[in-house]
Structure formats: structure tokens, C-alpha cells
């Protein structure tokens, strides 16, 4: 039976640090011999091979027993786990959002969203890679004892009760779409089929949009900066809330001004009678008028909600003036 005990101790020793291997193996041998003696005393006879094997199974798998003597007992501990989990959700959300934006842009250029993997790495591969990177960062933070820097925070940076902030996924999607719009608006890219196919009708933007070129450009750039700031500096609660109110009011004002034009699309056709084209023009203008009115109302509601959020943030700051 001695060979069974020696094999077990050797299996444990192989998983131990070289410097401590001999001492720990000797200590474990003494513990096992004591257990064997107690078991034999209880039975009044020496243990047979099967009983000794059962005792060693009770002690545990050599890998688990050796692990009890290691300084590192886990890859990511309970203190770092919340950081790892939050970072993983944000990272995977951002990757998914970027992937979605790329697919949409590809569809705009090629007219199809299929075979998107030709333009970007596989989504699954990217997420697995990101999983590994986030895990390695969390392990490094724990091993280097950087928790005191990572978890540094201020009470006034917490969002107000009942306030709902956009997720990183939503922010990245808005940033991606905003960037694509700016590139199209400035003529840097040409998106194929951005208007629905109308058969024999040709649909173009009306001249009024030339007048609003710079206001729309300024608003779009401002919105892009707001989303970038909120994504990169979520702790700037008051600033993010304030500029969001300004963004909603600016959007309402710009849309209301554009609404006054009364004509936003040019409808033409080389095959249909003029009366039919005129009726189509009227229907388009009516539809755009309703859409712009709804957009103004949406911006107004958003401004009210954003103003309430800003008020809650200010109230929190007054209620907790000691926050730094």
C-alpha cells in the first residue's frame, strides 16, 4: 500500500512550487499517516488497499490539495469580479455596437448586409479576444494591487435616483451613425440607395437643405461630441446632463426652423404625367411635414426629460455638498 501513498504524494508535489515542494510533501505525508493510523485504530486492523484508496479520495484530488497551498487561489477574486464583469459587459457591448454600425455602413454602400464578415473580423472571434483582454487586465489589477486606484469614485458622480443613462452600446451606435451622417452630409462618402426606391420617381433633397448646410453640420458635430463625452467621461454627470438639454433644445429649434420651408424634397419623373408628379410632390411634402412636427415634439419632450434629469443632478449636489 505504500506505493499508493507515495504516488498520491508525488502527484500533489508535482503541482507545488519548487521551493516549497519538499516541506509541503513531508507535512502532507505526516497528516495522511495520522489519518491512516486513526482509521486503523478505529477498525482494529491495518487498512487494505481499497480502504486506503477510499481515504485518499476523501482527502481530495491531488490538483485540489496542491491548490490549497498556493498563494493564488483564484484568477479574479471577489473584490475585482464586479470590475471584471462591468468591464466585460461594456467591452462586448461596444464591440457589438461597432459591428452593427459597420454592417449598416456596408449595407449603405453595397446594398446588402450579407457577408459582413468580409469587412470586419468575426464577431465571435472579436468577443472571445476581448474576453481574454478584459480578464488579463482584471488579473493584472488584482496582482498589482491597483484596486485603490480603480475604485476611486465620488458620491456626486452617481446618477440621480430614477435617472436612466444610455448604455455604452447605445452611445457607440449613435456615435457611429453620427459619424456616417457627417461624412455623407459633407460629401466625403456617397451612400447608395439612402432613399427608398420609388420606381419611375426620382427623389432629391430640396434646395432648402443647402441653406441649412452649416446649421445641420454644427448640430451633428455637437451631438457627436456629446455622445463621445458621455461615453468617455460618464462621471461628468452635471456637464453631460446640461449639454444634453442644450442638444435637445437646439434640435427642436433647428427642426422647427426647417419646418417653415414647407418643401423638403424634389420629386421628378421623365415618364409620368406632370399631374401625377405634382400629386406625389404634395404627398411627400405632407408626409415630411407630419414627420418634422413629430420630430419637434419629440425634441421638446426629450428636452423636458433632460431638464428634469439636470434638475435632479443639481438637487443631489445641493443635498450632498460634502461630496468631492
289 to 34, 124, 139, 205, 292: CA distances (angstroms): 90, 43, 56, 14, 5
Q: How far apart are CA 316 and CA 322, in angstroms?
A: 11
- Does residue 295 contact residue 253 with C-beta atoms inside 8 Å? no
With a cut of 70, say whether residue 213 has pLDDT above it: yes
pLDDT at 318: 66
pLDDT winner (highest mean) among 24-38, 67-81, 200-214: 24-38
Q: Which residue in 188, 274, 172, 286 sits closest to 232, CA to CA?
A: 172
Q: What is the pLDDT of residues 67-78, one digit of tens each?
A: 777 766 667 777
Percent of the chain exceeding pLDDT 90 equals: 11
Domain edges within the chain? 2-67, 74-152, 155-167+191-324
Least confidently predicted of 135-149, 197-211, 269-283: 197-211
pLDDT at 153: 57
Q: What is the pLDDT of residues 100-138, one digit of tens each?
A: 766 665 565 445 544 544 555 567 777 888 888 888 888
pLDDT at 157: 55
Q: How far apart are CA 75 and CA 89, in angstroms?
A: 18
Q: What is the pLDDT of residues 231-262, one digit of tens each?
A: 777 767 788 889 999 999 999 999 999 988 88
The answer for residues whose C-beta is within 8 angstroms of residue 109's C-beta and 6 or more apart is 189, 191, 192
Residue 204: strand, helix, or coil: strand
Residue 202: which region, alpha, beta or left (left: phi > 0; alpha: psi -120 to 50)? beta
Least confidently predicted of 95-109, 128-142, 291-305: 95-109
Amino acid at each position: 500500500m505504500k506505493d499508493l501513498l507515495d504516488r498520491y504524494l508525488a502527484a500533489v508535489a508535482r503541482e507545488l512550487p519548487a521551493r516549497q515542494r519538499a516541506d509541503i510533501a513531508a507535512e502532507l505525508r505526516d497528516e495522511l499517516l495520522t489519518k491512516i493510523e486513526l482509521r486503523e485504530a478505529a477498525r482494529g486492523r491495518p487498512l487494505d488497499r481499497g480502504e486506503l484508496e477510499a481515504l485518499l479520495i476523501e482527502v481530495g484530488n491531488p490538483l485540489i490539495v496542491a491548490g490549497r497551498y498556493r498563494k493564488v487561489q483564484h484568477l479574479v477574486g471577489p473584490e475585482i469580479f464586479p470590475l471584471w464583469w462591468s468591464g466585460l459587459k461594456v467591452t462586448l457591448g461596444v464591440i457589438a455596437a461597432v459591428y452593427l454600425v459597420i454592417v449598416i455602413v456596408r449595407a449603405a454602400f453595397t446594398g446588402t448586409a450579407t457577408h459582413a464578415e468580409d469587412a470586419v473580423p468575426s464577431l465571435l472571434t472579436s468577443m472571445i479576444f476581448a474576453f481574454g483582454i478584459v480578464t488579463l487586465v482584471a488579473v493584472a489589477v488584482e496582482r498589482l494591487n491597483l484596486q485603490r486606484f480603480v475604485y476611486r469614485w465620488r458620491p456626486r458622480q452617481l446618477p440621480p435616483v430614477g435617472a436612466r443613462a444610455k448604455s455604452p452600446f447605445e452611445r457607440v451606435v449613435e456615435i457611429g451613425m453620427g459619424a456616417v451622417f457627417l461624412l455623407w452630409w459633407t460629401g466625403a462618402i456617397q451612400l447608395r440607395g439612402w432613399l427608398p426606391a420609388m420606381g419611375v420617381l426620382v427623389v432629391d433633397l430640396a434646395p432648402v437643405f443647402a441653406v441649412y448646410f452649416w446649421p445641420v453640420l454644427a448640430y451633428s458635430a455637437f451631438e457627436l461630441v456629446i455622445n463621445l463625452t458621455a461615453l468617455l467621461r460618464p462621471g461628468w454627470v452635471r456637464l453631460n446632463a446640461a449639454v444634453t438639454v442644450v442638444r435637445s433644445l437646439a434640435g427642436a429649434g433647428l427642426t422647427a426652423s426647417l419646418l417653415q420651408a414647407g418643401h423638403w424634397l424634389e420629386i421628378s419623373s421623365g415618364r409620368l404625367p406632370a399631374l401625377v408628379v405634382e400629386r406625389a410632390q404634395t404627398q411627400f411634402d405632407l408626409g415630411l411635414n407630419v414627420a418634422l412636427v413629430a420630430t419637434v415634439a419629440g425634441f421638446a419632450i426629450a428636452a423636458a426629460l433632460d431638464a428634469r434629469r439636470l434638475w435632479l443632478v443639481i438637487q443631489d449636489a445641493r443635498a450632498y455638498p460634502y461630496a468631492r
